[in-house]
Amino acid sequence: MKEDSATSGIVLRPIGVGRSPYQTRDDVPKGLGARHEAEGRLEIFPEFAAGLSDIEGFSHLYVIWIFDRAADYELLGKNPTDGREHGVFATRSPRRPNPLALTVVELLGRDGAVLRVRGVDMLDGSPIVDLKPYLSSIPPQDLRRGWLDAAEAKAKSGS
């Protein structure tokens, strides 16, 4: 790919660090039906704290963070959910060309530059690069869930 001035030399600066109960990848619930209800903290660095102004009014946030402990990327990989191979961009695998992660969390409260949240799936200490309010305008009936639908149906039928 030809680099242009808009994409060359992009450097992401962490704005904070995610705190979770998970120290190793095996600690994080995985697979079909896994629920992410663990509470954690988003500790925003003092120099970015002013950017949290007015965030309290939102119930949920997108957290964009870095898979800082991922192995090298693979474009096709077996997914633990159904044990089948899928393209990386059809999964949420940590092994991506750009190790960016996206998690929706519920905002429980704010103590200065620390946000208390529910729904973390990152390892403790993962770098956070951005936060945005979660605003979904897509009606649930319009959402298609790709290969996950088949995996869930199969698990339900027990076959």
For residue 112, the minimal CB distance to ligand SAM (Å) is 24
Residues in the site for ligand SAM, rule: CB under 6 A?
A: 25, 28, 30, 67-70, 92, 94, 101-103, 121-123, 126
For residue 10, the minimal CB distance to ligand SAM (Å) is 18
Rounded Cα distance between 130 and 134, Å, is 12
For residue 97, the minimal CB distance to ligand SAM (Å) is 13
Nearer to ligand SAM, 80 or 133 (CB): 80
Other CB atoms closer than 10 Å to residue 157's CB: what's the count? 7
Other CB atoms closer than 10 Å to residue 63's CB: what's the count? 26
Beta strands in 16-143 (DSSP E): 16-19, 39-44, 60-66, 76-78, 85-87, 100-111, 114-118, 126-133
Nearer to ligand SAM, 56 or 70 (CB): 70
Nearer to ligand SAM, 57 or 89 (CB): 89
DSSP state of 7: T
For residue 14, the minimal CB distance to ligand SAM (Å) is 12
**Helix residue ranges, H only, 30-129:** none
Nearer to ligand SAM, 44 or 93 (CB): 93
